[in-house]
Amino acid sequence: MNTMDFISGEIIGIDKPLGWTSFDAVKRVRGAIQRRLNVKKFKVGHAGTLDPLATGVLIICTGRSTREIERLQNGTKEYLATLRLGASTPSFDLETEIDGTFPYEHITEEMVREVLPRFTGHIMQVPPVYSAVKVDGKRAYKYARKGADVELKAKPLVIEELEMLPSELPELKLRIVCSKGTYIRALTRDIGVALGSGAHLTALCRTRVGGIGLADCLTIEQAVEKIATCEVTYPDDFRIKD
């Protein structure tokens, strides 16, 4: 039987399902822990938000391990992204409908390989309006969904690797290794513009956060089952409250 010490802290890699928010995953894991410990409240958090339309590595921390969230969030991220050239959406992904079409027939694999190095190294990136970036204390996406104009400032980040994978244009597949704060949707927008076209993200999988890869992750169902069937251990300084 596996043992788990939720209070000292567990760091659990989850393969987040498509359509789930990061909070959905945290809530499900927290609920399983609360049932296992028979408590009404328990501290659980995640390191690095994934959009609902993205899948892959989501790190969930319990108990005292939540102190590690900032360190874990700063780890290098790796993604597999699928872009569609020739059309754009306001959110730069499938959350919103296509609002513009562009020529793409002129784009070749050679052109793509020539453009990609422009986006490697230390770069400045303007976040998507459909994002959680705060503007005057309010999330940018809340302005965007009301049709309000929002101006976001470019932020520095690092893209260590940007590799074109076998693709059938106008679909473009990329492997991206980048720093915290990188918006793959914004990178998609910028690559589309650099190619004299438009682009939006149609699929995204985060394959690594720091040293935790997809192979180290559990599905939500596996995590809940592991929590439900584990032997619970406690830290040496644990005391049952009267």
Give the residue numbers annotated as catalytic, written as ranges: 51
Residue tagged 């659980």 (tokens) = 44
CA distance 51 to 131: 9
Both structure tokens of 69: 């969230």
Strand partners for 89: none
Distance CA 74, CA 210 (A): 8
Which of 52, 55, 58, 54 is CA-nearest to residue 75? 58
Q: Which amino acid is at 168?
A: E
Structure tokens at 203: 């699929």
